[in-house]
Amino acid sequence: PKNPLMPFAIISIAYLLFTITDGAVRMIVLLHAYNKGFTAMEVAVMFSLYELAGVVTNIVAGMAGDRLGIRWTLNVGLTLQVIGLGLLFGWQDDWDKTTAIVYVTLAQMMSGISKDLTKLGGKTVTKLVTPDDKQTRLFKLVSLITGWKNALKGVGYFLGAALLASSEEFGYFIALGVMI
């Protein structure tokens, strides 16, 4: 017989590992932009659609998850993260600042959509595997997952910074490659 908690374990692990990647990519983009001479405001713009996409995605993802299922939102979220990372490989050092900002902002938007689709799967699966008479357990599980998510995002920040620093010439590409 199939273990009923297996989908919970798979989705939760995918969500938590995704969190490391998400934190690392944020740090990689931020530090790479800093190393290339972008101002704090220019870097903030690069992340603006990442956050704004989250607002829209949360609304749409709930409806999509209801119609298409949590597996769909998780798979699309993880796929969009790979696409976003792939786009970041295209960032060219010889681009003018405006081109780089627009390009990176759009690539980061993919990661923002990805984050919220993946988060929906990571948190919703807990509700699905918890019987109604065990709701206290549900809150404990959600708290545990949220705590791990926050800790692992911090791990991702350090991982991203370390990978970027691994090579002066190729650190950006090495870091992105490890994240994929």
CA–CA gap between residue 4 and residue 109 (Å, rounded): 35
How far is CA 147 from each of CA 12, 16, 40, 47, 76, rounded to the nearest angstrom? 12, 10, 29, 24, 24
pLDDT band at 34 (very low <50, low <70, confident <90, very high): very high
d(CA 64, CA 140): 26
pTM of the model: 0.82
pLDDT tens sequence across 120-139: 877 776 666 666 676 677 67
List of residues 6+ apart from 76 with CB closer than 8 A: 117
How many CA within 13 A on the CB side of residue 59?
Answer: 4
pLDDT score at 3: 75
**Arithmetic mean of pLDDT over the chain:** 86
Distance CA 140, CA 95 (A): 48
